[in-house]
Amino acid sequence: MLIAFTGTNNAIKTTMINALKEKKDPKIYSFYENSISASDATLSQELSSNKIIIRNQNIDGHHININRNTKNNFTFSINSDFKEAIRVIGKPNLTFFFENHPQNDVVKTQSSTNADLKKAFLKVSHNFYKNKAKLDKPILVVADSLSSDDLYNQVDSTLKKYEKGLVIIDHKRANALVSLVRDEFLNDPFFIQVQKNLIENQIPKSIVRGSLEHARFLFFIASNDHGLKSKSMYDKAKALYQVHPEYFDAKYISKQSAAFVKEQIADKISTRYPNVFSKNWIENARKIVREFDGEPLNIFKNTTNALELLQIVKSFSGYGPKIGGMVVRAAYSLKFNDKLKDMQNVPVPVDVHDSQILFRSGILYTANPKNIQHPRYIKTAQQEILDACNRQHLDWTIVDKALWLIGSTGTYSKFIGSKLSV
């Protein structure tokens, strides 16, 4: 977020900036002068991190052209280099315009004094910023008639509105996190033991991993993987499959009633909303019969584009962004379609565990860190994990599995904790 402080660089504006530097959280605020170029890597990174950038737009003597006319009078104008430096940085989200009341900007050489030159300089700089601020709406005018405390309170009350709900992202720590947990997942024996809890490893004993029957079981049962204890639900579902594999056959289920599904499936595997679950189970079966020749495996083979596959999966009842993403991740890991590509464009199916980990590790930060509502930041965590994996050229499906297992087993201190250093 870019906030401009415009107007001549008088004592009022200088005092305000110094007070903000002293009182504001440096994790949230950064301060820049005009000399910082729009291409400056640090400024660009901080803007992408959602920090509040206070940019002091200040004209000094280097930015002024002095022009003499035929009557030997001098006028001042802003040079083009300064205007370009202001323009390319981008339009501020908010501009504070600090008022002053300069006089005439025309100075005659015969009667010029330092006071006259200063007034002329202030006049042209004031007019430049006044006109620019009008173009940079929204704009707030800071009146120089107020006391220093009142001025600060006026500015601070506005800034606090921007701070509320703002989440700062430390991209460098995010890069370190995804690399760390990826390496832990691939090299620590602990993850071999707990990988059995992943959705792609929930396989009834009677079927072969990656088979047509596996695709049936995974697709149907995945929609019930929320709001309950996953292990208990999967154990019951696998036991049910052993006795009644036809319950996971779209062609068979499409001919049954919702009451049948509720009694024979929903009530036996434990569902949070059995009536909704039963209705979805039948609707999805009929859609699979109608559009995919009765086989979930054909859903996964329908496209080689992972993002397109996600949209297809989400078109089924009960498969939102998280469950849909889990199914696509599982299909990719199980090679239901070994030509599936472009996984780097698929949103990571994160949950509240990921949000908690990112805050705990200092990757996400808010102005009120003692009262964080982690579910509110799931989408932010989702995007940053994906972006960090893409920046590091890592397979996010491995990082996602590692983070889920760390969060669900309560092993943050063991695998991240002091190991995360930047």
C-alpha to C-alpha distance for 419 and 173, rounded to whole angstroms? 12
C-alpha to C-alpha distance for 213 and 245, rounded to whole angstroms? 9
C-alpha to C-alpha distance for 200 and 405, rounded to whole angstroms? 13
- Within 8 A by CB and 6+ apart from 95, the residues are 3, 4, 6, 133, 136, 137, 138, 139, 140
pLDDT > 60? residue 115: no
pLDDT (tens digit per residue) in 280-302: 999 999 999 999 999 999 999 99
| Main-chain dihedrals φ then ψ at residue 345, nearest 5 degrees | -100, -5
pLDDT (tens digit per residue) in 135-181: 666 777 777 677 778 888 889 999 998 898 799 999 999 999 999 99
C-alpha to C-alpha distance for 337 and 144, rounded to whole angstroms? 68
pLDDT (tens digit per residue) in 218-263: 999 998 876 545 778 899 999 999 999 999 999 999 999 999 999 9
Q: Please say whether the beta carbons of 341 and 352 come within 8 A.
A: no
With 0.95 as the threshold, say if the pTM is over it: no
Provide the edge-to-edge strand list for the sheet that holds 94-98: 29-33, 52-56, 2-6, 94-98, 139-142
pLDDT reported for residue 79: 65
The domain limits of the chain are 2-164, 171-416
**2-164: which CATH topology?**
Rossmann fold (3.40.50)
Q: pLDDT band at residue 102, thresholds of 50, 70 and 90?
A: low
Q: What is the largest CA-CA distance in the chain?
A: 106
pLDDT reported for residue 12: 80
pLDDT > 50? residue 57: yes
